Amino acid sequence: MKSSILSLWAAAGLAAALNASPVFAGAGHDHGPKYGGVVREVKNVTYELVAKPDSLTLYVNDHGKPVPTQGAQAEAVIYASNDKATVKLEPAGENRMMAKGSFRVGVGVRVALTTTLPGKPPAKVTFNLK
């Protein structure tokens, strides 16, 4: 009985630690959303996905500075329950890429994104929507 209670406390502590946001991520690393989306970082490039029922918008920054998306390519695979949809995002401004259409978004939806920025190798980023 005593060991099972300790195991539950250990599991709860681990879950809390894994879900906690870092308080200090280092100089030049602002990981918070700037556009109301979900943020992920891969090799010092920050990707923020704003998912709406009629559009997907991806913002790309490097240490807070906009990364030009002209000539970039991106493909998103949206997983919602047992449904899977693939969509291409097109450059749509200084540091953003966008797709218009009808998308399932919200809690439980996962978006796997592969993006290739000019002069960089492809990056794979997964977003769990809120």
Strand partners, 90: 98
Q: How far is CA 39 from CA 4, 63, 66, 129, in A?
A: 36, 13, 14, 10
Superfamily of segment(s) 31-128: Domain of unknown function DUF4426 (2.60.40.3340)
Parse the chain into domains and list their residue ranges: 31-128
pLDDT tens digits for the chain (130 residues)? 555 444 444 444 444 444 444 433 444 455 678 888 999 999 889 999 999 999 999 999 998 899 999 999 999 999 999 999 999 999 998 999 999 999 999 999 999 999 999 888 999 999 999 8
